Structure 1
């Protein structure tokens, strides 16, 4: 009997992708980097094949190589800048780099393989500066990119930053010797806020995995991931006794304490100590004391909990749900950190339902 696990609903993943594609009106370039945001990059990509995306986005050569070995034949873009020493590895795996450094562009051009030009319009993280494209016209004429893109730094916010970045992107596009056939900029949040897309492709990321970019927005993703664990011990703690390290939780009367075999080594963060909650038998139970490396304790006094009962630390149980966003807020973390932390140790269970194909 498995004591703790992560459940991933691949049907929900695909329905989220279909919703983004329908709103954007253009093909998808799903991001499956960081091992599919902690949920399994190859499994996510194989499921998303039903939506017939243009290709996939990863962060490293190793991630792209895993997709190739797993049977993915569509284009795969490596979005993190590469060094010239990595060119042979990308070429062998038939991966497409996102480039911005002129010297690396010159080197890659010798391979004759496609590449995408990354334009920095304000993220200040990677890519050729939007106002440096004119100075590199000769290079970009000799080594014409297949695609060109930028990255919005605050697509979730209702401010003017996106408009500023799009004006800069338009200026960069106008400075190119010729406009590539593929132009992309939007993540899921950008499509939530404004649609249909004016570009060639849409790059959804965390929305696919069940996290909305805009609370109360036009698109509501289905939950994709759940974390569940069985109660492995129960004890009654008398009034005045404490639970876990540093004695931060003290019983105000006789309390029943359940131990589940999930801790911060499994991605259930220590910040959830004395503030997180889980679902059990149709109700909510609070974390009691510090989350430890391998175990977390819950106050189950108000339930009929028994050994072996399943506790849901993240996800849906019956009519109740703990979303990734809610768990992240309780832990004072980004939802991205919560998801990617789930790849640490827990085994994964995949569920799959037939998903609709987006009409684009």
Structure 2
């Protein structure tokens, strides 16, 4: 049997193009004349980078970022008029690929700058303004970049999701001092949360990421619109008597005669084990709680109060990243990027 003859997966992500575009448009409006780009690393935060890029480019986004060179080929050919940059720079073994691909490195060390200088090509550069992660030291930046064609000079905020944190202003001031000494085509500091810190942080370019895909807060303080919804197919329905248990460790015990739907979805798909007992499905508006532990490939839901279901039916499993993160004790970033490859990703 050829691969194309296999049936589709038993779980799918229903992806909302309108929500994705509306999230980007909210960021773009908030930053006024600044260019509003999009970070689509980690396969578009788990939702599909190629599809997200196509939709955002059609909406007017022209500047995109991924983390690694390995992410670039899947995005080719790039939509007309857009640029793509690689946030982790370029190493010697990546240089041949970098020279062949239509993307710019965001150089993050003095050694990377020296390597790229030999190409004579433009670049982007990251300055470490206080996060102590990636980037040139502020004191060395001007000397290291002397004579380089820097398309964009970047820095990255460590505490943008806490507007009151004093490091935000220290980083802004540090980066402003470096920018005054380093010529560049544009200057960029703010990620999704940083945009909400105000115009002083917007500069020429912003790089929203998680906020595009349903996580975190938008510039107006409301939660980002969820982009993904899960559907999973019921493999088996069973009646469990009062006192009967479901799943590993008998973690769920029925308090009444219960109807249990077991679906093709588990933590191998990114439906976090921490949602055991607190996650839920929805059937015709009826909330159906998770029954017992989420296992690797399966989850069970108590559908006793739902309208009649049959084996093979699809049920909806909401995936608001912030709500799910609170329930699972994790972050919306983790939950989104963990969404696995066994889903059929369906954009509408």
Is residue 180 from structure 1 mapped to residue 184 from structure 2 by the alignment? yes
Q: TM-score, normalised by structure 1?
A: 0.88
What's 1:146 paired with? 151
Q: CA deviation at 1:197?
A: 5.4
Question: Unpaired runs of 5+ in structure 2?
Answer: 1-6
Match among 39, 42, 65 for residue 50 of structure 2: 42
SS in structure 1 of the partner of residue 196 of structure 2: helix
Answer whether contact 1:244 1:290 (CA < 8 A) is retained.
Answer: yes
**Aligned partners of 1:16, 1:144: CA distance in 2, in Å?**
32
What's 1:229 paired with? 232
Question: Unpaired runs of 5+ in structure 1?
Answer: 316-322, 352-360
**Aligned partners of 2:52, 2:339: CA distance in 1, in Å?**
15
**Aligned partners of 1:230, 1:298: CA distance in 2, in Å?**
12
What's 2:244 paired with? 241
Q: CA deviation at 1:196?
A: 7.4
What's 1:61 paired with? 69
Q: CA deviation at 1:72?
A: 5.7
What's 1:76 paired with? 84
SS in structure 2 of the partner of residue 141 of structure 1: coil
RMSD over aligned Cα atoms: 2.0
What's 2:133 paired with? 125
Q: CA deviation at 1:73?
A: 5.4
Pair 1:197–1:166, CA change in 2 (3 A):
closer
Match among 29, 32, 36 for residue 22 of structure 1: 29
Using CA pairs under 8 Å that are at least 6 residues apart, name the structure with larger relative contact order, 1 or 2.
Answer: 1
Answer whether contact 2:217 2:223 (CA < 8 A) is retained.
Answer: no
SS in structure 1 of the partner of residue 346 of structure 2: strand
Pair 1:250–1:72, CA change in 2 (3 A):
farther
What's 1:312 paired with? 316
Number of residue-to-residue matches in the alignment? 338
What's 2:124 paired with? 116
**Aligned partners of 2:340, 2:138: CA distance in 1, in Å?**
36
**Aligned partners of 1:145, 1:49: CA distance in 2, in Å?**
24
SS in structure 1 of the partner of residue 113 of structure 2: helix
Q: TM-score, normalised by structure 2?
A: 0.91
Q: CA deviation at 1:57?
A: 0.2
Answer whether contact 1:121 1:169 (CA < 8 A) is retained.
Answer: yes
Answer whether contact 2:188 2:203 (CA < 8 A) is retained.
Answer: yes
What's 2:20 paired with? 13
Match among 339, 344, 347 for residue 347 of structure 1: 344
